[in-house]
């Protein structure tokens, strides 16, 4: 017998297609018959998708852009200057590099 | 064929200028890759100053190791990995004051292996209830509630899209431990999000 807990524990392995064929069959049989597990699988998938998009820049214009660099604000100028100054300090021009 | 033919043409040209030590090229690289690197660092580090420090560390490391960049990945992909690493290093130096126990966020079961309560059906990403922006903010807040060791694996795998082996290496974990941690992080995130998305509550 397969319990709901087993389904939940090995759900990622199942979704990744890494279960043994026999176990896979028992899994699918259980999920088809158990509305609780069916809802769990569906909400787990939605959770992964929600996580994936949680940090996407907001707004329709942003979601249409394929180039992430276009939708992030530029680096603060002080940061750019600080990095350039630190780099010059680490390897001054003409040090034979 | 040179492996660099896989690179975007502007990145190939920029790399050549960097390797020639052209001063202006460093600023150009920061302009090209910096905004995304800062966004990545901000996902791991909660304070803006810490994220900026991580980006600075990442650029200095990249400049120092430019001759080690093999050109079989995109320059921006290489910088992404360095930024993730610099962010994790910085995060390790910090100690979170109060961190929840992951067990408290995981589903509970009866002795017979069944859930202690019914699992409700979810709405379609809650889009009908709140705006996309509000939904994303709620999910970010939920991710932030996870203990760091689980949150970081979830960020690395599901958001930064690193593979299991890369994540395992960065976290100092085995492949199996990395997979288990990712699954538990997703399960805990699902439990935190359930009140926002279950049909029973939002209907």
Interface of B with A in 148-177 (CB under 8 A): 154, 158-159
**Which pLDDT tens digit goes with each residue over A4-23?**
999 999 999 999 999 999 99
- In chain B, the residue whose alpha carbon lies closest to the alpha carbon of A57 is B133
Q: Is the ipTM of this complex over 0.95?
A: no
Of A11, A55, A83, the CB nearest to B43: A55
The reply to whether A95 falls in a domain is no
Last residue of a domain, one of B76, B93, B110: B93
Question: Do residue B74 and residue B139 come from a single domain?
Answer: no
**Which pLDDT tens digit goes with each residue over B74-106?**
899 999 999 999 999 999 988 776 778 888 889
The reply to whether A97 falls in a domain is no
**Which pLDDT tens digit goes with each residue over B145-155?**
999 999 999 99
The reply to whether A96 falls in a domain is no
Total of domains in chain A:
1
- In chain B, the residue whose alpha carbon lies closest to the alpha carbon of A89 is B60
Alpha-helical (H) ranges within B1-157 are 9-19, 23-44, 48-64, 75-93, 132-144, 148-154
Question: Do residue B38 and residue B116 come from a single domain?
Answer: no
Last residue of a domain, one of B93, B117, B143: B93
CA–CA gap between residue B11 and residue B28 (Å, rounded): 10
CA–CA gap between residue A8 and residue A6 (Å, rounded): 5
Structural domain boundaries enclosing A10: 4-89
| Cross-chain Cβ contact B159/A54 below 8 Å | yes
Structural domain boundaries enclosing B179: 102-202
Q: What are residue A39's DSSP bridge partners? A: none
CATH number of the domain where residue B76 is located: 1.10.1740.10
Question: Do residue B152 and residue B185 come from a single domain?
Answer: yes
Q: Which residues contact B166 (CB under 8 A, 6 or more apart)?
A: B81, B156
Total of domains in chain B:
2
The reply to whether A94 falls in a domain is no
- Provide the 10 A C-beta neighbour count for residue B150: 21
**CA distances for B59 relative to B77, B78, B181, angstroms:** 13, 11, 30
CA–CA gap between residue B85 and residue B61 (Å, rounded): 11
H or E stretch covering B201: helix B199-202
Question: Do residue B66 and residue B112 come from a single domain?
Answer: no
Residues of chain A scoring pLDDT < 70: 1, 58-70, 92-97
């Amino acid at each position: 017998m397969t319990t709901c807990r087993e389904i939940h524990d090995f759900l990622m392995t199942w979704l990744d297609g890494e279960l043994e064929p026999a176990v896979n069959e028992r899994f699918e049989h259980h999920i088809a018959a158990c509305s609780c597990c069916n809802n769990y699988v569906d909400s787990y998938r939605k959770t992964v998708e929600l996580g994936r998009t949680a940090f996407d820049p907001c707004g329709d214009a942003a979601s249409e852009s394929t180039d992430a660099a276009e939708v992030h604000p530029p680096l603060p100028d002080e940061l750019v200057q600080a990095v350039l100054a630190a780099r010059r300090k680490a390897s001054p021009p003409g040090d034979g590099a | 064929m040179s492996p660099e033919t896989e690179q975007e043409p502007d990145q190939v040209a920029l790399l050549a200028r960097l390797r020639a030590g052209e001063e202006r090229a460093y600023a150009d690289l920061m302009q090209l890759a910096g905004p995304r690197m800062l966004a990545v660092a901000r996902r791991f580090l909660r304070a803006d100053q810490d994220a900026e420090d991580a980006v600075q560390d990442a650029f200095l490391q990249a400049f120092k190791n430019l001759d080690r960049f093999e050109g079989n990945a995109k320059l921006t992909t290489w910088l992404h990995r360095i930024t993730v690493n610099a962010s994790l290093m910085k995060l390790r130096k910090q100690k979170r004051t109060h961190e929840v126990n992951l067990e408290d966020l995981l589903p509970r079961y009866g002795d017979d292996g069944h859930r202690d309560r019914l699992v409700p059906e979810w709405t379609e990403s809650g889009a009908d209830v709140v705006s996309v922006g509000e939904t994303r903010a709620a999910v970010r807040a939920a991710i932030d509630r996870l203990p760091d060791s689980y949150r970081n694996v979830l960020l690395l795998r599901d958001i930064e899209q690193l593979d299991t082996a890369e994540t395992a290496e960065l976290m100092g974990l085995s492949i199996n431990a990395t997979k288990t941690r990712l699954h538990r992080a997703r399960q805990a995130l699902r439990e935190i999000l359930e009140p926002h998305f279950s049909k029973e509550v939002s209907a």
